[in-house]
Amino acid sequence: MQEQDRDDVYRYLDELRDSGETNMFGAAPYLQETFGFERSVARQWLLEWMRTFTDRHAKEAPDA
């Protein structure tokens, strides 16, 4: 994965999540269609995005 690719995919997934168009567990087909990924690759991207979501968005969370 290249850094630019990661930024593009994560930005796309963040926007997809914000749109509410789909439950994110079903987002792999969106990656396949948008980026041309094979199913297994799309699922890997999605899992990585999910694993890193909290760390990447921690600064946006209100202080507890």
pLDDT in tens, 33-61: 999 999 999 999 999 999 999 998 887 65
Q: What is the pLDDT of residue 40?
A: 96
- DSSP 8-class letter at 23: -
First to last CA, the chain: 34
Range of the domain at 40: 3-60
Report how many domains make up the chain.
Answer: 1
> Which pTM does this prediction carry?
0.84
What does R_g of the chain's alpha carbons equal in angstroms? 12
Q: Provide the H-helix boundaries in 1-64.
A: 3-19, 28-35, 39-57
pLDDT in tens, 6-41: 999 999 999 999 999 999 999 999 999 999 999 999
Q: What is the pLDDT of residue 3?
A: 77
